[in-house]
Amino acid sequence: MRILCFGSLNIDYTYRVDHFVQKGETISSKDLQIFSGGKGFNQSIALAKSGMEVYHAGAIGTDGMFLLEQMKQAGVHAEHVQVLDDVPTGHAMIQNDKDGDNCILLYGGANQAITTDQADHVLSFFHEGDYLLLQNEINITAYLMRKAHTRGMKIALNPSPMNEKIFDLPLELVDCLILNEIEASQLLANQISAQETGAAMAGYLKQKYPSAAIVLTLGEAGSVFLDQEQIFQKIYAVHAVDTTAAGDTFTGYFLGTLLQGGSVPKAMDRAARASAIAVTRPGAAPSIPSLEEVLSQELSCFS
Ligand code: RIB
């Protein structure tokens, strides 16, 4: 069983600010740093760092060659990433405020120029029982889901960033849905009240998508897994400097641990530890810890 992550690769321009810029306002940033990122890229790196063998597919422009190098250094198979001559690499403008929170403006670039020919070619290397991991930052997600399903592949979806395109996807084909509480409440729009608990939200998601295992992250309240069993995981308490890629780190470590034969509680715990460490460091992909760090850092649960 192998895993293919077909997803975005971005150049992240991260601006450190006191507060997020408001409508009509012009502010100066305190610092600019350029990082590797993109939800697909970050999740492939997290999968690889968890010890999983991972294949990444997607597209970049000629300005994004360093992303390919970083993937290879992390042990990700990058031969299915296309380099396009006429489209720039996708990028993100990220404001990182003094509390470590972020807001992100995306430019799709090559991530939005993926063709069905590329998808068919890449998927021809994968077979029944292999996993396809997707996010919502490339242009042919629905096509990939249907094609992968007809090949007998399992589909894991992180519906992030959440927008109206998610509602056009064949979500009934998803085998593992990994999302946060804001994405969950948008998927469940009109079905739940604002006061629902995480466990209740996971239950509603399971009713709506019965074929999918649900992995729901709940911020300070931890995370919950729901399939045949229900597992709760607390978060680890850390001082956050940059929350960018925390969700991607969780997704990669959760799936990577599980697909290497780990139990659900072990996968949830490793994912919580890895994402806690990631938020203590600036940047997206560079903040994702190695497995050695995840196993050796002493962390205490937030109660
Ligand atoms: O999830 C974090 C990522 O979202 C960033 O790396 C940025 O590129 C955006 O895709």
**Tokens matching residue 115:** 């063709």
* Residues 292, 239: Cα–Cα separation, whole Å: 20
pTM as predicted: 0.97
Region label for 38, one of left (φ > 0), alpha (ψ between -120 and 50) or beta (otherwise)? left
What mean pLDDT, rounded, does the chain reach? Answer: 96
- Identify the pLDDT of residue 189: 86
Evaluate if residue 302 carries a pLDDT over 90. Answer: no
Please give the average per-residue pLDDT across 121-127, as a whole number: 98
Q: Which residues contact 193 (CB under 8 A, 6 or more apart)?
A: none
Ligand 1 pocket test: pick from 5, 8, 11, 12 the residue with the most ligand atoms within 8 Å of its Cβ. 12
- 81-95 confidence digits (pLDDT tens): 999 999 999 999 999
* pLDDT, average across residues 258-277: 98
226/209 Cα distance (integer angstroms): 11
Phi-psi region of 75 (alpha: psi -120 to 50; beta: other; left: phi over 0): left
- What is the Cα–Cα distance from 163 to 161, expressed in whole angstroms? 6
Region 36-52 average pLDDT: 98
Span from the CA of 194 to the centroid of ligand 1 (angstroms): 27
Q: Give the Cα separation of 207 and 225 in Å (integer).
A: 14
Q: Do residues 299 and 276 touch, judged by C-beta distance below 8 A?
A: yes
Residue 121 gets the label, from left (phi > 0), alpha (psi -120 to 50) or beta, of: alpha
Average pLDDT over residues 199-226: 96
CA distance 265 to 267: 5
At 301 the pLDDT is 83
Residue 37 Cα to ligand 1 midpoint, Å, equals 5
Output the ligand 1 site: residues, CB below 6 A: 8, 10, 12, 37-39, 42, 92, 104, 137, 244-245, 247-248, 284
| pLDDT at residue 183, as a whole number | 95
Band (194; pLDDT cuts 50, 70, 90): low
Residues of the chain above pLDDT 90, percent: 94
When pLDDT is averaged across residues 70-85 and rounded to a whole number, the result is 98
From the alpha carbon of 92, which atom of ligand 1 is closest? Answer: 8
Closest CA to 154 of 167, 144, 164: 144
Q: Whose CA is nearest to atom 9 of ligand 1?
A: 38
pLDDT score at 110: 98
Residue 192, pLDDT above cutoff 90: no
The model's confidence at residue 303, banded by pLDDT at 50, 70 and 90, is low
Q: Residue whose CA is closest, atom 6 of ligand 1?
A: 37
Q: State which of 163, 244, 250 you would mutate to test the pocket of ligand 1, scoring each by most atoms of that ligand within 8 A of its C-beta.
A: 244
Closest by CA to 271, choosing from 225, 202, 212, is 225
